[in-house]
Structure 1
Amino acid sequence: MAVFKTKRLKGVDYHLDHLDPFQFALAVDQASYTVEVHFSCHCFTEEIAAHHTPDLYYSHAGERRAFNMDRYDQSKLLPGLIASLGNRSVYYTRQVNYFFLRDMPNLVGPYVVFFDPAKAKKTGVDVLLNVQSAYCKPGMTDRAAPVRFTTLVEATAKANPVNRGPIQQIKRK
C-alpha cells in the first residue's frame, strides 16, 4: 500500500509511489549497512498561503499543506539522489539535521534535501533516513560543516556521535 495517496488535480492523477520507503546497501570499508529511506509530504507540498485554492490542499498524517507541482516533479529524482550519495559530502544544518544540495537543470538556485538519520530499531536495517523536505532554495548558504555520508551512516548505525567539523565552502552542488 502506498504511503501517500494520489493527488487528483484538474482531472489528472499525480501518483506518489516513487516516494514509498525503500532500502539500499551502503559499503563502508569492509562493512555494509542497510539504509531505509522514508519521505515526508514536504517533498511535494508547501505551506498553505493565500494564493492556494482548496483543490491544491493535501492532507497527510494530520498535516494539511498545498500540493506544489514543481516540488512534485523534482521529488521524482529523490530516490536516485539519496541512493547515490555514497561517499559524497553532506552537511550539518544549524539545527540538528543534515542536508545536501545539487544544481539541477532548469532550476534557479540549488535543490536542497533535508534529512535526519537515526539508528534503526527494525531487524535487518541499520539506519533509518527520514527525508524531511526537498525544494529549490535560491538563497541557500554556500558554507556549512561537511561530513561524508558513509561516515554519517556508520556512526549512526553504531550509535556513535558524529563530530561537527569546521564550517567551510560547500564543494559539491
Structure 2
Amino acid sequence: MYGTKRIQGVAYPLQHLNPFTMTVAPQTPGAPSYKVHVRFGSHTFTREWQAADPIDHQVNYNGDIRCFCTTRHGLSAHLPDMIRASANGKVHFSLKDNYLVLTNMPGCTGPYVAFFSMKPSNSNKYDAFMFVQSAHERAVFPKQLPSISMPTLVSKVVRELPIIRPKK
C-alpha cells in the first residue's frame, strides 16, 4: 500500500496507486465476467536513480532504488481511470512479453503508456492479477501495434490458453 512521499515539506500522495479490483466483462452474451486485481509498481512514479539525485528523492521499493519523479507522479494520477477504461477496450502487445495501454494527455509530446503483465490468480477472490510495471510519456512511439481486446486477453489468461500475437 502506498502512502505519501514528502520532499522538502511538499506532500506527494500516492494512495491513488493502491490496489483495486475491476470487472472485465466480454460483450458476448452469456460469456463470464472476470475479476481482475490490479497493482501498480514504483516505476509508475519514479525514474532510474542517478548519482547526482538528492537523497530525499530516493524510493526503495523491495530493494529497487529509484528516484521520485514529479512528472511521472503527476501523470500517475490518471492511471487508475486509464486502467479501468481499458477493461472493455483494446490493449496492445509490447515489443517484449507484456502488454500496454496508452492515451494522449495534455502537455505530453507523445502518448502516456502503461506497461503491464497479466497472470491467472490462484485465489478464489480474483480470476486474474494485473501488475502495472511502468507508466511514462513516450515522445516516440510506433503508430500501429498489434492488439487484443482486454476481455479476450483476460479470458485466455484465466483459462491458461495460448495468447498469439497477431501478425502486422
TM-score by length of 2: 0.93
Structure 1, unaligned stretches of length 5 or more?
168-173
Matching of residues 1-173 of structure 1 within 5 Å = 3-28=1-26, 29=28, 30=30, 31-167=32-168
Runs of 4+ in 1 over 4 A off after TM superposition: none
Shift of 1:81: 0.7
Shift of 1:160: 0.9
Q: Report the secondary structure of 2:59's partner residue.
A: strand
Output the CA distance in 1 between the equivalents of 2:87 and 2:146. Answer: 18
Shift of 1:59: 1.0
Answer yes or no: is the 8 Å Cα contact 2:86–2:101 preserved in 1: no
Output the CA distance in 2 between the equivalents of 1:58 and 1:83. Answer: 26
TM-score by length of 1: 0.90
Shift of 1:93: 1.2
Shift of 1:121: 1.1
Answer yes or no: is the 8 Å Cα contact 1:116–1:132 preserved in 2: yes
Structure 2, unaligned stretches of length 5 or more?
none
| 2:75 partner amino acid | Q
Answer yes or no: is the 8 Å Cα contact 2:105–2:112 preserved in 1: yes
| 1:62 partner amino acid | G
Output the CA distance in 2 between the equivalents of 1:107 and 1:16. Answer: 21
Answer yes or no: is the 8 Å Cα contact 1:4–1:60 preserved in 2: no
CA RMSD of aligned residues (A): 1.2
Q: Report the secondary structure of 2:82's partner residue.
A: helix
Output the CA distance in 1 between the equivalents of 2:151 and 2:12. Answer: 34
Shift of 1:48: 1.0
Q: Report the secondary structure of 1:40's partner residue.
A: strand
1:4–1:49 Cα change, 3 Å = same
Output the CA distance in 2 between the equivalents of 1:81 and 1:146. Answer: 16
Q: Deviations over 1:85-111 (max 9, x none)?
A: 133221111211011111111111110
Answer yes or no: is the 8 Å Cα contact 1:118–1:128 preserved in 2: yes
Output the CA distance in 1 between the equivalents of 2:64 and 2:2. Answer: 12
Q: Among all aligned residue pairs of Structure 1 and Structure 2, give the percentage whose two residues are the same amino acid.
A: 33
